Amino acid sequence: MRLEGKRAIVTGAGSGFGEGIAMRFAAEGAQVMVADINAEGAERVASACGGIAQRVDVANGDSVAEMVARAVAEMGRVDILVNNAGITHLPAPMEEVSEDDFDRVFAVNCKSVYLTARALVGHMKALGAGAILNVASTAGVSPRPRLNWYNASKGWMNTATKAMAIELAPAGVRVNALNPVAGDTPLLASFMGEDTPEMRAKFLSTIPIGRFSTPEDLANAALFLCSDEASMVTGVCMEVDGGRCI
């Protein structure tokens, strides 16, 4: 019960890494708002973990404000925010990625961090405490070819994490990030371009531990960084990558 009494919002929690984080947080005693643009997925996960389902478009300011307002109204406060929602563009030469795809990647992966901060940081400052966790990617540390603008968006998240951490530390709010390697989640096929045994083998060959990351791997790391055990940890961008960035 390492999060007993804590209230958390996890975005992109209707599947994949976010689902794993929401389920683990709930198992550790937290009350969790399961937020996702896929309302059906959010309802499924919330039902499984006893949480609150909330449809949200993290790239839309009104939608994010509505999510935070409901979380505060129904849970009383928000101690933890996990910015997990994210997307990618399909692998392509950088100059061939459409402007619409570029805008979508930066809206969901980057603008969302600004929007949730705008909606929630004042609340956390008033509490004098809080933990924000941004789910970035090893792509932002050691970029892969043909995913250029996705790589850049995740590098932005890592820099934003450090900038947020240094500004919010005096207010008692910690900000960290996770950099997972490719995971066996619904986004995997998009990263690879096609989900074939050959493409999986190619990706796995870059991971020294020899397997993809799992929602459980991310949940374990998120649990530590968002718990009071990490009260001295802020501005860290933790690689959960089986050695890929070494």
Q: Tell me which residues are annotated as active site.
A: 150
Six token digits for residue 77 = 């406060």
Grouping H, G, I as helix, E, B as strand and the rest as coil, residue 152 is helix
Whose tokens are 């060959």? That residue is: 205
- Under DSSP, the state recorded for 39 is H
Position 61: which residue type?
G
Cα-based angle 139, 207, 92 (whole degrees, multiple of 5):
40
Q: Measured on CA atoms in the order 214, 11, 141, 195, is the torsion positive or negative?
A: positive
Can you give the C-alpha Rg of the chain in angstroms?
17
Q: Using an 8 Å Cβ cutoff, are 209 and 138 in contact?
A: no
Distance CA 223, CA 138 (A): 19
Find the length of the chain: 246
